[in-house]
Every structure is written in structure tokens, then in C-alpha cells.
């Protein structure tokens, strides 16, 4: 195993990775920005180094500085967490050139899945169902309109280099398409350095269901079943659960096999996730591949008993996966609720000084957070404060546990989305397990105006 690794991330995920490293006897190096100098993850690590000012380009995205610290602190490997440099092929390549192990897939795999157009093509060639769409880059509104005509409205306009819902728009007719094309393309080129767009048919009544994968450097690949992530706002997930309450066992198996095939097609190594859209007839379509650890990985850990971060380290170290598909099974049900520093009505961020922070404890309750009693929530990074993960023997038990835990969750000083989470999990559609990706627009927002 590695002796020492650097964690090129912050907050809860840095703390999460450090925990597994401690279990494996691996030493950790934390890097942090000035805004995070009092962060719990900085103290948890064996060594910590200041990156620079709060701005991400001068701290968590500053690959030169991170690599300098990695060299000077003599680490064997770098874990990128999620976000920041985790899906940056050139950073992964630089690690390789420096003789450092990047805990993740090869830079070639990151690159091939980073271009959403390229990824669609590769999956289609491998026989994996993709959403009907344009397989050529669209650079003008006119080209986009022609493609949309061929596919049929409504369509989703997306940035090829995009992610996290940025640059994405749902479009119902040519007029709308022409109106949003240039602004979305401009935003994509500003944020991702590439304004190339593509179009996919809008799948109506869709669910977002994804498959967790593990693949090693010896040609072995397994899936760790599915996660249902349909509850989203602004195309960002809020509540995730495993397994999905919607799909049948045979669909689960088919999706799992398709995901493993996708991994094999691109010679993928390490942990990864294939996101699918699933329609009401259980047809599933490739949406994208996340070539990194996902925020919602704990629900899969809860139902499989597998520490995914541990597997990432072992795979990166050249070890074989200890499991074959037949030895893996689902036990119980797990739900994750993301606790955000935001207004539960406007969804606007709410940075500030936390004055009270008391989290419920008990069997089946797990917290992933780096927030403490006197933490200050700065406006520089993602608004996620914590993840509340519950598990029970059944889905209804898990929902009850989540409801009780949210009732006992005490955060003061800033606004959080806890009131929203409570409303969502008590909604009949959620209890039935029949939620779609449009749940917030269809059911939550109307509740507020009543």
C-alpha cells in the first residue's frame, strides 16, 4: 500500500478520504486555501500545507502548486476527491509525468469521457443505448436548429465540455433554441474553455439512475448496483438512495451489465459511475460517465458493505478487486440527504457564521461533514455543509429514520435546506418511490405557493 498520499480537495470529502487512509495506515497530506485554514480536514491530516488565497484558481485548482507540495512532502499518490481537479485529464497526465499515482482512471479515460459528444459516440459503438441526439459538435444556432428539427422537440441543449448542469437548457421550439444557444455557448466557453454544444432529445417522465463501478488494472470489472438520484434542483442532486425503488431486478441486472461493458470499452480503471436516464417503461439511456468518486457514494457503501475509497486506493496501487459479481449483493436500503447552506425557498446560497451545530446520533445514522460548532461558511465554494446518510432494513425504515434525524438536526446562524428536505421525504410521491427528475418543479415548488 502507499505510504503517504496527498488529498487535493477540501471539506467533507477530504475528511472522508483521510478516515479510510487512517484505517489502512496510509499517511495523509492536506492542502488548503486561506479561507479553509481552520477546517477540520486540515487538522485531521498528518501534514498540511497552505495553497494560497480562497479563489479556486489560486488554491484547489492550482495544479502547479499542488504538484510542488506533493513533490516536497514526498507523497506516493494524489487523491483528487470530486470536483476541482478530479476530472482534469491534464492534471492526471502531469501526475503521471511526475511519477505520482493519480488515484483515479488514466488521463486518456478521463479525456474520452470529458467530451460528452465523444463519450456518446463511444457508448453507441459499444452497443449501449444513448439518448437520440446530435453526434457532431454544434457551433452555431442554425446547426443546432437543424439537429433539433431532425430529433424533434423538446430537446436538451448541453455543453460538450460541461458538467454540473452548467450551460444546460431545456428547449421547446426553434425560437427558444436560437435565443439560448449563444448565451449558453458563451457561458460554456467561459467556464470550460470550450463553447461546443450538442443536443439530446428530452426524455419525458425520466428518472436519474446510475451504476457504481469498480475496475482494476488486471482486466476485472464489477458493478456495485444502482443509485436513484432523481430528486434534483438546478440539475444538482439533493437526495440519493440505493437501491432504486423503481427498477425491476432484471432491469438492474441489464443496467449493471451495460455499465460494466462501458467500463471495459474504454479500458477504465478505478471507481467510476455511469449515469443513465430511465423512462417509465424502464428503457435506459447513457447520460454520462463520471470518472471519479461521486458525492453520493456512501449509499452504495451502506448497502454493499464495501469502502469505495479503500477500493480506489487498492486499485490505484495495482491490486486486484477482491470481489466477483456473484459475491456481491444488496443488504437493506440507504438514503443520503445533502444539507446545503441555502434558502429553502429561493435556493439562494446562505454563507455565514454557524452558531449551533448539533447532529443526531444513532444506529443507522452516518454523517459526512467537515463542519464544526464554530465553523464559518464562506461564499467561495460549494454550499454543501454535510451529508446525512441513513440505512435501514427496508426503504420505509430508512425514510422514517431520515425523517427523525432531520427533525433532530440543529443548525443555526445560517439558512439550510432542511425544511425542504423534510417536505420532500414526506411527500406521497417520494414515499411511493415514484419520483421523477422533475419532482421539485412538479411537487415541491407548488407546495410553497399554497
Kindly list the residues in this chain that would bind another protein in the complex (CB under 8 A): 341-342, 348-352, 378-383
Alpha-carbon distance of 195 to 188, in angstroms, equals 5
From 19, 292, 320, 366, active-site residue? 292
Shortest Cβ 84–another protein spacing (Å): 12
Question: DSSP for 269-289?
Answer: -EEEEEEEEE-TT--EEEEEE
Strands of 72-206, DSSP E:
77-79, 101-102, 155-159, 169-171, 197-201
Q: Smaller CB distance to another protein: residue 27 or 350?
A: 350
Nearest to another protein of 132, 352 (CB atom): 352
The DSSP H or E segment spanning 30 is strand 27-33
- Please, what is the minimum distance in Å from the beta carbon of residue 265 to another protein? 32
- What's the closest the beta carbon of residue 354 comes to another protein, in angstroms? 14
Taking the C-alpha atoms of residue 122 and residue 117, their distance in angstroms, rounded to an integer, is 9
- Please, what is the minimum distance in Å from the beta carbon of residue 186 to another protein? 12
Nearest distance in Å: CB 349, another protein: 4
Rounded to whole angstroms, what are the CA distances from 151 to 154, 358, 393, 396? Answer: 9, 51, 44, 40
331 Cβ contact partners less than 8 Å away, ≥ 6 residues apart: 303, 304, 305
Least distance to another protein from the beta carbon of 445, Å?
Answer: 17
Residue 249 phi/psi, 5-degree rounding, is: -60, -40
Evaluate whether 220 touches 320 at the Cβ level (below 8 Å): yes
Minimum separation from the CB atom of position 378 to another protein (A): 8
The residue (of 81 and 392) whose beta carbon lies closer to another protein is 81
Q: Are 173 and 190 in contact (CB under 8 A)?
A: no
> Beta-carbon neighbour count of residue 55 at 10 Å?
14
DSSP state of 320: P
Q: How many CA atoms lie within 13 A of 108 on its CB side?
A: 6
Angle at 71 between CA 68 and CA 73, to 5 degrees: 105
Indicate the residue among 207 and 233 with the shorter CB distance to another protein. 233
- CB of residue 383 vs another protein: minimum separation in angstroms? 4
* The three grid cell numbers given for residue 415, joined into one nine-digit string: 439558512
Q: Which is nearer to another protein, 332 or 352 (CB)?
A: 352
| Residue whose CB is less far from another protein, 37 or 43 | 37
Task: Show Cβ contacts of residue 68 under 8 Å, excluding neighbours closer than 6 positions.
Answer: none
| Other residues' Cβ atoms within 10 Å of the Cβ of residue 71 | 13
Q: How far apart are CA 93 and CA 374, in angstroms?
A: 39
Nearer to another protein, 224 or 414 (CB): 414
Q: Which C-beta is closer to another protein: that of 176 or that of 343?
A: 343
Distance CA 29, CA 74 (A): 10
* Catalytic residue status for 16: no
Catalytic residues: 292
Amino acid at each position: 500500500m502507499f505510504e503517504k498520499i496527498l488529498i487535493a480537495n477540501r471539506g467533507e470529502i477530504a475528511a472522508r478520504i483521510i478516515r479510510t487512509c487512517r484505517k489502512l495506515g496510509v499517511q495523509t497530506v492536506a492542502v488548503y486555501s486561506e479561507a479553509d485554514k481552520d477546517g477540520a480536514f486540515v487538522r485531521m491530516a498528518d501534514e498540511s500545507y497552505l495553497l494560497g488565497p480562497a479563489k479556486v484558481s489560486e488554491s484547489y485548482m492550482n495544479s502547479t502548486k499542488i504538484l510542488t507540495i506533493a513533490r516536497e512532502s514526498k507523497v506516493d499518490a494524489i487523491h483528487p476527491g470530486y470536483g476541482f481537479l478530479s476530472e482534469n485529464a491534464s492534471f492526471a497526465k502531469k501526475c503521471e509525468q511526475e511519477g505520482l499515482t493519480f488515484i483515479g482512471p488514466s488521463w486518456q479515460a478521463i479525456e474520452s469521457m470529458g467530451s460528452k459528444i465523444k463519450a456518446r459516440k463511444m457508448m453507441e459503438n459499444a452497443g449501449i443505448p444513448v439518448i437520440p441526439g446530435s453526434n457532431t459538435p454544434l457551433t452555431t444556432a442554425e446547426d443546432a436548429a437543424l439537429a433539433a428539427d431532425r430529433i424533434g422537440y423538446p430537446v436538451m441543449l448541453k455543453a460538450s465540455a460541461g458538467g454540473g448542469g452548467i450551460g444546460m437548457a431545456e428547449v421547446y421550439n426553434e425560437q427558444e433554441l436560437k435565443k439560448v444557444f449563444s448565451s449558453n455557448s458563451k457561458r460554456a466557453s467561459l467556464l470550460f474553455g470550450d463553447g461546443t454544444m450538442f443536443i439530446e432529445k428530452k426524455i419525458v417522465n425520466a428518472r436519474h439512475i446510475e451504476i457504481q463501478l469498480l475496475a482494476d488494472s488486471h482486466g476485472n470489472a464489477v458493478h456495485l448496483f444502482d443509485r436513484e438520484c432523481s430528486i434534483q434542483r438546478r440539475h444538482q442532486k439533493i437526495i440519493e438512495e440505493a437501491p432504486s425503488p423503481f427498477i425491476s431486478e432484471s432491469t438492474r441486472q441489464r443496467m449493471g451489465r451495460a455499465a460494466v461493458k462501458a467500463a471495459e470499452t474504454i479500458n477504465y480503471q478505478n471507481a467510476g459511475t455511469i449515469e443513465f436516464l430511465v423512462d417509465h417503461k424502464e428503457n435506459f439511456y447513457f447520460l454520462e460517465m463520471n470518472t471519479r468518486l461521486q458525492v453520493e457514494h456512501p449509499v452504495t457503501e451502506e448497502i454493499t458493505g464495501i469502502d469505495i475509497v479503500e477500493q480506489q486506493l487498492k486499485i490505484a496501487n495495482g491490486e486486484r478487486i477482491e470481489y466477483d459479481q456473484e459475491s456481491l449483493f444488496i443488504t437493506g436500503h440507504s438514503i443520503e440527504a445533502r444539507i446545503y447552506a441555502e434558502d429553502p425557498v429561493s435556493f439562494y446560497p446562505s454563507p455565514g457564521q454557524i452558531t449551533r451545530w448539533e447532529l443526531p446520533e444513532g444506529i443507522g445514522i452516518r454523517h459526512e461533514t467537515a463542519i464544526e460548532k464554530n465553523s464559518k461558511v464562506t461564499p467561495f465554494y460549494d454550499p454543501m455543509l454535510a451529508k446525512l446518510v441513513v440505512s435501514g432494513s427496508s426503504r420505509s425504515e430508512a425514510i422514517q429514520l431520515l425523517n427523525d434525524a432531520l427533525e433532530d438536526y440543529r443548525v443555526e446562524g445560517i439558512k439550510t435546506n432542511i425544511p425542504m428536505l423534510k417536505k420532500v421525504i414526506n411527500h406521497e410521491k417520494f414515499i411511493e418511490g415514484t419520483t421523477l427528475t422533475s419532482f421539485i418543479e412538479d411537487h415541491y415548488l407548488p407546495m410553497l405557493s399554497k
